[in-house]
Structure 1
Amino acid sequence: MIADLNMLIDLIESDLADSAGSAGAEGATGIDVERLSARLGTTEYHLRRMFSSLAGMPLSVYIRRRRMTVAAADVLAGHDLLGIAVRFGYGSTEAFGRAFRAVHGAGPSEIRRNGGPLRSQSTIRFRLTIEGSSSMDTRITDKPAFSLIGHAKRVPLIYEGENPHIREHIASLPADEHIRLKALSDAEPTGLLQVTADVDPDYREGTELTYLHGVAVSASASAPRDLDVIDVDAGAWAVFTTAGSYPEALQSTWAATASEWFPSNPWQLRPGPSIVAILDRADDFSTATTELWLPVERG
């Protein structure tokens, strides 16, 4: 996976140097991420998720920043702005100016007049460092199709710390509703679950996802009419068990799946919900033992 990501970076740099393509979802790059993923024997979904997890930014944001970093050199050199805009795939100086300002915080004319400020994006290079000082408690399990039922809400994606939107959603449920949900559980993962689904492929912070507070039931179970349902296909799951401060320990484990586990194992993410099961917790929820369930397939 590390080699695949570095090949993607090299293709982006080559494409920017040639100034090929047209402004689209990835900006002026002509990179076909889906085709590249197939060539590398992985999936676009996995490649994008691993990039955003390891780089700390979506692939689309990285490409836009690199594109505007390269464009800044032409702007400072005094080249015709329309020519620069066309070279980088924009149909007008206005469209180019908006994209330029979004990255640098100032328009091309201001940068040309004042020489700055410029916010350059260096070329990323991925490396795998094996520390060997700790191990991840992981198991792979195959599950038949099942359903997740409970109370769902659209919330923004937040990388670190507690998500207040999720906290408010859970707090809005009466105490006896949690008891009712737990009684409905009849499949793994057991107990009350924290489910995230419909996540943006680039994992951009602030984008909306579906959060479901509920339980797992067999595919044949009949869900009460007042509950939301997420149907889950049969397949393999990687289950990561962690214990410690909550939610920090869980979030660290989530990050380590991308930086340590996936690059070292013959598995890749497949589309599907991510599930957190709380196995044990302190009364004030300051610490907890959790299981993180991620849908996977062999790479």
Structure 2
Amino acid sequence: MDSIQNMNRALAYIEANLDDEIDFQLVARIACCSEHQFNRLFSFLAGIGLAEYIRNRRLTLAAIELHTNDVKVIDVAIKYGYSSPDSFSRSFQNLHGITPSMAKENGSLLKAYPPMTFQLTIKGGAEMNFHFVEKKAFKIVGVKEIVDTTDGEFYPEIWNKLENDDLLNRLQCFSNTDFPEILHVSANIKANSRDYYIAVATTKDATHEFTTLEIPAVTWVVFKTSGPQPETMLKTWERIYAEWLPSSGYELAESIEFVRDLNDPTDLSANQIWIPVKRRN
């Protein structure tokens, strides 16, 4: 229950500072977790990325201000964090369907995105199969991309190269551990971006085309997913954050998260989600 209260305190800080610069490190401290953890928890509990939520709240307040007060569009744009009237107008029109100038007119239809709070709910008892793994520190080698998630979408450009590139075969040449499969790694997760790797675990040194990342020793909780993808995996991620974590006695530890391709010939849809955890104090 404390974690839900901490999240709501963090949301209250965000709400009070929508017309100012938001300190995301302070947000995380209020929620008693890291910035990485807060972004993951928020996105899965809320069903929307933190950056998108903040943008929608600011544009809601901006619309009300334009409609009810005699203010200039550029002043409202600057107040809510936009560097130019053009960028503000594009974002405003994407949400409201009309321009900021039109919002000033009587009878203009506007959309409202209310402030969010979290509460603990009891959900149906569908089972979740998981196990814990104590894994020593290891190293991954792979390709890295910083993915912009401002719009709440996650589609790395690397994926476009996979069908016409032997990237996976080149990576497999490095694989020499008891973890032979391809790993899809998320690291340094922030409100509007994350580092994404397609990698393998290895003891070898990377060549110039690949990046190395050292993973510290940590306790992992592992969930298997099987079924239509990506729907099954996304649903499992959601249940981990919305159901399993709040009731498990564990919290997120500082490390990466990754999906492990199982390459099971009897179930090509099978994957594992690996989440770093530690006992909750």
TMscore range, shorter length: 0.7 to 0.9
Deviations 1:89-130 (A, max 9, x none): 569993795364454343332111253232221222323333
Q: What amino acid maps onto 1:292 in structure 2? A: I
Pick the aligned partner of 1:225 from 207, 211, 223. 207
Pick the aligned partner of 2:198 from 199, 208, 212. 212
Pick the aligned partner of 1:236 from 219, 232, 247. 219
1:193 correspondence with 2:175: no
Match of 1:94 in 2: 85
Give the deviation of 1:146 after TM superposition. Answer: 0.7
Pick the aligned partner of 2:231 from 233, 248, 258. 248
SS state of the match for residue 53, structure 2?
Answer: helix
1:141–1:238 Cα contact (<8 Å) kept: yes
State the percentage of identical aligned residues.
24
Q: What amino acid maps onto 1:212 in structure 2? A: I
1:69 correspondence with 2:55: no
Give the deviation of 1:222 after TM superposition. Answer: 3.1
SS state of the match for residue 74, structure 1?
Answer: helix
Pick the aligned partner of 1:7 from 4, 9, 17. 9
2:45–2:241 Cα contact (<8 Å) kept: yes
After superposition, the Cα gap between the structure-2 partners of 1:84 and 1:135, relative to the gap in structure 1 and judged at 3 Å, is: same
After superposition, the Cα gap between the structure-2 partners of 1:260 and 1:167, relative to the gap in structure 1 and judged at 3 Å, is: farther
2:185–2:199 Cα contact (<8 Å) kept: no
Q: Which runs of 5+ in 1 are unaligned?
A: 16-20, 22-26
Give the deviation of 1:254 after TM superposition. Answer: 1.7
SS state of the match for residue 244, structure 1?
Answer: coil
Give the deviation of 1:257 after TM superposition. Answer: 1.4
Match of 1:18 in 2: none
State how far apart, in whole Å, the 2-side matches of 1:7 and 1:137 are. Answer: 32
State how far apart, in whole Å, the 1-side matches of 2:145 and 2:114 are. Answer: 34
Match of 2:98 in 1: 106
Deviations 1:23-53 (A, max 9, x none): xxxx524654423433443222211221122
The residue correspondences of 1:29-48 to structure 2 (distance < 5 A) are: 29=20, 31-48=22-39
Q: Please identify the structure whose Cα radius of gyration is greater.
A: 1
After superposition, the Cα gap between the structure-2 partners of 1:200 and 1:47, relative to the gap in structure 1 and judged at 3 Å, is: closer
State how far apart, in whole Å, the 1-side matches of 2:148 and 2:245 are. Answer: 22
Q: What amino acid maps onto 2:276 in structure 1? A: P
State how far apart, in whole Å, the 1-side matches of 2:24 and 2:211 are. Answer: 34
Match of 2:159 in 1: 166
2:146–2:196 Cα contact (<8 Å) kept: yes
Give the deviation of 1:137 after TM superposition. Answer: 1.6
State how far apart, in whole Å, the 1-side matches of 2:198 and 2:125 are. Answer: 35
After superposition, the Cα gap between the structure-2 partners of 1:179 and 1:236, relative to the gap in structure 1 and judged at 3 Å, is: closer
Q: What amino acid maps onto 1:223 in structure 2? A: D
Pick the aligned partner of 1:126 from 118, 122, 147. 118
1:194–1:275 Cα contact (<8 Å) kept: yes
Give the deviation of 1:147 after TM superposition. Answer: 0.5
1:193–1:278 Cα contact (<8 Å) kept: yes
Q: Which runs of 5+ in 2 are unaligned?
A: none
State how far apart, in whole Å, the 2-side matches of 1:41 and 1:163 are. Answer: 30
SS state of the match for residue 112, structure 2?
Answer: coil
After superposition, the Cα gap between the structure-2 partners of 1:276 and 1:232, relative to the gap in structure 1 and judged at 3 Å, is: same
Give the deviation of 1:180 after TM superposition. Answer: 3.5
Give the deviation of 1:68 after TM superposition. Answer: 2.3
Give the deviation of 1:192 after TM superposition. Answer: 1.0
Corresponding residue pairs, total: 274
1:162–1:247 Cα contact (<8 Å) kept: no
Give the deviation of 1:164 after TM superposition. Answer: 8.0
Q: What amino acid maps onto 1:253 in structure 2? A: T
Q: What amino acid maps onto 2:205 in structure 1? A: A
State how far apart, in whole Å, the 1-side matches of 2:144 and 2:166 are. Answer: 12
